[in-house]
A and B are shown apart, each in its own frame.
Chain A
């Protein structure tokens, strides 16, 4: 059974940093691209970032480009999202999700984790 477990969320002040983790099991982690999607309170889904299976290709939404850094450790089956220079607009539930391809290109998300909440507030 595929399982994705996000962690690392919490309350942080504007301008601060946070690192999210997503532990994966139940599939060959190193064979699939992985993606972060967020959902602000009461709002819809917003794509944040995608990382290819080999870790060489990264993609970021314009709203986070230059502030967030996606990475992975295929030996530990773990996905990360380093979030810097956070603003109140980054407040959201962050989901990690498994892509259906190794590249993350022309793909969909076939499994989602339960999400970890990030609150940016002074």
Chain B
């Protein structure tokens, strides 16, 4: 089955830039999507198709995908960005068609 690997945690000071990686075999050949889950809330889509933002998501959120690593970048981090972030791809090579990364906890210092 296809595996996505994320760092367990990332810490960042307010106003700085947070980068969250998502590693997978030849991930650049897939579309990567990112979800934000604040404590006690449902996930929210923040990036789809590698770098597109849904309406209502601030431009501070951006995505990229190259080689074996996709990256979610949050510029000008705010306290409200403190959350768990999950990457996701769709994989037809195994029975697990929706594949989620293990999640990264972003802590705003």
Contacts and interface: CB of A to CB of B under 8 A. Distances in A.
Do A and B pair up? The answer is yes
Interface of A: 35, 37, 44-47, 50, 59-62, 65, 95, 97, 100, 104-115
Which size class do B's interface residues fall under? 20 to 34
Contacts of A109: 33, 35, 43, 45, 88, 98
A45 B100 contact: yes
B63 to A, nearest CB: 12
A7 B75 CA distance: 37
Interface of B: 31, 33, 35, 37, 41-45, 48-49, 54, 84, 86, 88, 90, 92, 95-103
Contacts, number: 69
A95 B45 contact: no
Contact of A44 (B42, B86, B98): B86
Given A50-B98, A95-B43, A108-B33, A45 B86 contact: yes
Contacts of A100: 48
B100 to A, nearest CB: 4
